[in-house]
């Protein structure tokens, strides 16, 4: 639906708002000193822009590795790694997990690298008018996922749909799902403001995706004041810290829920995730560091590299259609 997008898109919108607020954003590539681009989206277009503006600094906000959570991931990772090597003047990783995993799969070191997590738009995702927790009603659980990929934890949500005590809990899933639920309330993807409203009506966020660089869904829930339960793996553990609890088996979730319910004020009171102003400032400082380095010369790409990568992108699209 219009206005409903995945996590990467939502973060970049929040980052844009921050850069606009400090008068450091332009709307035309020709006026920019630094161009930030996101992972695998619009790589062909980015190559065209780099070819046209070789003197500009290009920052790659890398995702993944893709091999672990999407079909065609291995080939896409190779393309991303090659673009990062030949085109990107700086690389931003969203988590320590993502950096280590990408390097282990062959990503070469860049001249400038930094780990910077994500944060949502605080004007949308915040604790203002959040529904107060009460033990006099059923505890409200919520999960979200833009992607219907089974690896986003739908085996866990399916198990909860069967085994959760629905006399004590009610649960809502917002997003796209490959399965239909019997007891969990299903809502189609919402725009950010509507999603934030639903989060603030809830008590606890359950996030079951196993492979995440830095989940914006999880961060949006935390910024909305929800203690969270997340799968103990990859970037999830780095984000969650003391703002909730992790699980390694779905059978643990009912006991974890009991603990959070009994100590709700403790968990809710500890929620303090990174804010977009802090995250945006880290982006700005990183870009400025490269821009002010008198020794650094921006990378250049050849027409041969551009056309060879274009062929690879077409081949990747053909692979995707076969999968």
Could you identify the residue written with the tokens 């690389």? 91
Q: Which residues, in sequence order, are CB contacts of 180 under 8 Å at separation 6+?
A: 186
pLDDT value at position 4?
A: 44
**In this structure, are 180 and 250 located in the same domain?**
yes
Which positions of the chain have pLDDT values less than 50? 1-4
pTM tops 0.85, yes or no: yes
| 87 touches 47 (CB < 8 A) | yes
Residue among 231, 194, 219, 204 nearest 143 (CA): 204
The Cα-based distances of 237 to 108, 208, 215, 251, 272 in angstroms read 25, 12, 11, 19, 15
Predicted pLDDT of residue 319: 55
Four-CA torsion 30, 34, 38, 39, nearest 10 degrees? 110
The predicted pLDDT at position 44 comes to 83
Instruction: Please write the tens of the pLDDT for every residue from 66-104.
Output: 888 766 557 888 889 999 999 999 999 999 999 999 999
Query: CB under 8 Å to 140, separation ≥6 — which residues?
Result: 131, 169, 170, 171, 172, 201, 202, 203, 204
Residue 296, in any domain of the structure: yes
Tokens of 141: 């659980």
Strands 228-231 and 112-115: unpaired
What is the pLDDT at residue 1? 36
C-alpha span between 118 and 115 (Å, rounded): 10
Do 208 and 147 share a structural domain? yes
In a domain, 125, yes or no: no
CATH number of the domain that residue 148 is part of: 3.40.50.2000
Residue 255 has a pLDDT of 97
Q: How many domains does the chain have?
A: 2
- The answer to whether residue 129 sits within a structural domain is no
Residues 205 and 93 in one domain: no
What number of other Cβ atoms are within 10 A of residue 176's Cβ? 16
Give the pLDDT of residue 71. 60
Output DSSP code: residue 274: P
Range of the domain at 37: 7-119+277-322
């Amino acid at each position: 639906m219009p206005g409903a997008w995945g996590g990467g898109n939502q973060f970049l919108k929040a980052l844009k708002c921050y850069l606009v607020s400090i008068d450091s954003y332009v709307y035309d590539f020709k006026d920019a000193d630094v161009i930030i681009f996101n992972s695998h989206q619009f790589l062909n277009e980015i190559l065209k822009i780099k070819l046209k503006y070789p003197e500009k600094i290009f920052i790659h906000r890398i995702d993944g590795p893709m091999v672990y959570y999407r079909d065609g991931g291995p080939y896409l990772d190779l393309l991303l790694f090659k673009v990062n090597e030949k085109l990107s003047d700086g690389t931003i990783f969203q988590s320590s997990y993502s950096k280590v995993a990408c390097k282990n799969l062959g990503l070469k070191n860049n001249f400038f690298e930094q780990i910077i997590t994500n944060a949502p738009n605080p004007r949308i995702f915040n604790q203002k008018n959040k529904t107060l927790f009460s033990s006099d009603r059923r505890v409200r659980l919520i999960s979200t996922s833009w992607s219907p990929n089974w690896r986003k934890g739908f085996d866990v949500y399916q198990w909860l749909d069967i085994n959760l005590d629905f006399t004590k809990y009610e649960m809502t899933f917002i997003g796209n799902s490959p399965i239909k639920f019997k007891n969990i309330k299903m809502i189609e993807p919402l725009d950010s403001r509507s999603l934030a409203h639903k989060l603030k009506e809830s008590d606890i966020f359950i996030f079951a995706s196993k492979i995440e660089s830095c989940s914006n869904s999880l961060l949006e829930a935390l910024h909305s004041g929800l203690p969270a339960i997340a799968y103990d793996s990859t970037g999830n553990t780095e984000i969650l810290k003391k703002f909730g609890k992790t699980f390694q088996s779905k059978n643990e979730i009912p006991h974890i829920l009991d603990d959070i319910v009994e100590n709700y004020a403790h968990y809710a009171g500890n929620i303090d995730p990174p804010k977009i102003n802090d995250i945006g400032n880290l982006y700005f400082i990183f870009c400025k560091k490269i821009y002010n380095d008198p020794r650094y010369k921006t990378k250049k790409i050849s027409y041969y590299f551009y056309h060879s990568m274009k062929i690879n992108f077409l081949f990747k699209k053909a692979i995707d259609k076969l999968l």
